[in-house]
């Protein structure tokens, strides 16, 4: 009897091993109607996720991507957080993916990103509804409103913030810039004023950001759990605000949230509560975090490159010297005259690579350069691998704004530059981001000097962060 039990146990064990082996083989050798790009899908389910999230303490392309580019070329396959992906560092494929959105590809992000940003976030919407939301957002962030309203408000915010920081022994620059931009944009979006609100809304977004690009384990103590809690708390504030405003039928429109509520009250509304809340959440996040990171890196790069700082200072001091009133606010004509500043901003965002990957999904089997991208597979366009490619940018890790001299103005994504995305989803906040960066630089270099106190080291996991901060001391110019 005992021997029969042993045989049965061994038979079950052998069957399980064989079943797992067959499953693992099918995982690592997926079927395709053509030739898949080279690469490895890693371990079943886990894939190569751990390697993807490994820290990288430089501005260079992440070791995860760099190693695979050397081994497989500019197009390779992998698996991250349980999804099969084709990673593209190929400028032609990147451009093709952006141009074919809505036909052969659609916007897509891994399930973990969807959980973080919401099922109805703007990145997950397509067709008419996406274009409709984009039109609404451009009312706020388009050039007309930038020129009429936001430039002046941005200039005032930068002046006031820098003056306040100069009175302190030192400031942590990333946190200070984030606070400045968040307070400015949150006021435009939801009339939020931190001094008058019982909810520390920015604190929730900081918690959200810490785990935004982290290993997706929702267990207390993990960065991902902190991220999800931050989103949950921020959404509570937004839902409460929406309920209060929906009940106040006599309220006059004062901010962008009111615009969305007006859309919800239409006879046949396209806007739903879920879409409105997820849109507000994404706008509050995107409006400050990416620009604050880029500006912080920009100030670090300026401190390390005095020749660039000198050229910027000369351009901005010339603008001030041509004013009748030296203390007057920045004008749109002055902003548009900032030729070298525009080059410096392009160079900062090229090196910052705030977005490590832009995701799309293949809607059908797609043949490109001899490879097949199967229907349903994700495609990760990898901007850093293009922006730091020595065949495209000479000495790519050098901070050299002059490389953009005499180049055609970039108003959308190109094969070789996609810091603001590309195609139909070219970032609607691009102009706002450029205005914020130019205005901050103008106020900084015309009125202040600064020195690094401590920190400034960067880590990419794969998003950009300053783990020990970047502390600087500001000195007013005499």
SS3 content of the chain, % helix, strand, coil (to 5): 55, 10, 35
Q: How far apart are CA 441 and CA 446, in angstroms?
A: 8
Which helix (H) or strand (E) covers residue 179, if one does? helix 173-190
Residue with tokens 């429109």: 253
Tokens of 48: 């190569």
Q: How far apart are CA 243 and CA 17, in angstroms?
A: 55
Concatenated DSSP letters for 378-404? EEEE-HHHHHT-TTTSSSTTS--GGGG
Concatenated DSSP letters for 326-342? TTPPP-HHHHHT-HHHH
Tokens of 323: 């004013």
Q: How far apart are CA 175 and CA 470, in angstroms?
A: 9
Residue 427, marked binder: yes
Q: How far apart are CA 212 and CA 204, in angstroms?
A: 12
Q: How far apart are CA 292 and CA 339, in angstroms?
A: 22
- Measured in degrees and rounded to the nearest 5, phi and psi for residue 46 equal -70, -35
Cis peptide before 462 (omega within 30 of 0): yes
Q: How far apart are CA 242 and CA 251, in angstroms?
A: 12
Which of 453, 386, 441 has the alpha carbon at shortest distance from 159?
441
In this structure, what DSSP letter does residue 104 have?
Answer: T
CB 159 within 8 A of CB 184: no
Which of 274, 119, 281 has the alpha carbon at shortest distance from 204?
281
Strands (DSSP E) contained in 112-225 are: 171-172
Residue with tokens 């809690």: 229
User: How deeply is 48 buried, as exposed, middle or buried, from its count of CB atoms within 10 A (0-12, 13-18, 19+)?
Assistant: buried
Task: Give the three-class secondary structure for 76.
Answer: strand
Left (φ > 0), alpha (ψ -120 to 50) or beta: where does 185 sit? alpha
Which of 228, 36, 215 has the alpha carbon at shortest distance from 110?
215
Strand partners, 85: 78, 378
Q: How far apart are CA 427 and CA 358, in angstroms?
A: 12
Binding site for heme, by residue number, is 427
Annotated binding site: 427
């Amino acid at each position: 009897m005992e021997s029969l039990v042993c045989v049965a146990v061994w038979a079950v064990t052998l069957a399980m091993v064989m079943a797992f082996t067959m499953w693992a083989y099918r995982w690592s050798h997926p079927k395709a109607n053509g030739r898949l790009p080279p690469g490895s899908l890693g371990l079943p389910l886990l894939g190569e996720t751990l390697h993807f999230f490994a820290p990288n303490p430089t501005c260079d392309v992440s070791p995860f991507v760099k190693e695979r580019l050397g081994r497989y070329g500019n197009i390779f396959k992998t698996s991250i957080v349980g999804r099969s992906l084709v990673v593209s560092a190929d400028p032609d494929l990147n451009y093709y993916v952006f141009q074919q959105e809505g036909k052969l590809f659609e916007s897509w992000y891994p399930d973990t990103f969807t959980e973080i940003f919401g099922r109805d976030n703007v990145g997950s919407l397509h067709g008419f509804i996406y274009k409709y939301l984009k039109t609404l957002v451009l009312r706020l962030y388009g050039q007309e409103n930038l020129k009429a309203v936001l430039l002046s408000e941005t200039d005032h915010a930068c002046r006031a913030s820098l003056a306040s920081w100069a009175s302190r022994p030192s400031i942590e620059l990333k946190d200070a810039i984030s606070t400045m931009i968040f307070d400015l944009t949150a006021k435009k979006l939801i009339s939020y004023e931190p001094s008058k609100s019982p909810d520390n809304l920015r604190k929730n977004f900081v918690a959200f950001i810490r785990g935004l690009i982290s290993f997706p384990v929702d267990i207390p103590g993990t960065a991902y759990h902190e991220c999800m809690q931050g989103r949950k708390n921020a959404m509570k504030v937004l839902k409460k605000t929406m309920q209060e405003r929906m009940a106040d039928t006599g309220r006059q429109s004062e901010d962008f949230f009111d615009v969305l509520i007006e859309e919800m009250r239409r006879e046949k509304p396209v806007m739903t509560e879920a879409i409105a809340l997820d849109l507000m959440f994404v706008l509050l996040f995107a409006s400050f975090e990416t620009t604050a990171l880029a500006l912080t890196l920009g100030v670090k790069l300026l401190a390390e490159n005095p020749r660039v700082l000198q050229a910027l200072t000369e351009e901005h001091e010339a603008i001030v010297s041509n004013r009748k009133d030296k203390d007057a606010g920045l004008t749109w004509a002055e902003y548009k005259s900032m030729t070298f500043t525009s080059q410096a901003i392009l160079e900062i965002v090229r090196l910052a690579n705030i977005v490590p990957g832009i995701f799309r999904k293949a809607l059908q089997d797609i043949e490109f350069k001899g490879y097949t991208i199967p229907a349903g597979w994700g495609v990760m366009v990898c901007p850093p691998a293009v922006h730091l490619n020595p065949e495209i940018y000479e000495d790519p890790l050098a901070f050299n704004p002059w490389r953009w001299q005499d180049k055609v103005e970039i108003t959308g994504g190109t094969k070789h530059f996609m810091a603001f995305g590309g195609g139909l989803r070219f970032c609607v906040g691009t102009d706002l981001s450029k205005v914020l960066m130019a205005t901050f630089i103008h106020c900084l270099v015309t009125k202040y000097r600064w020195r690094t106190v401590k920190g400034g080291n960067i880590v990419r996991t794969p998003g950009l962060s300053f783990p020990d901060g970047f502390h600087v001391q500001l000195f007013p110019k005499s």
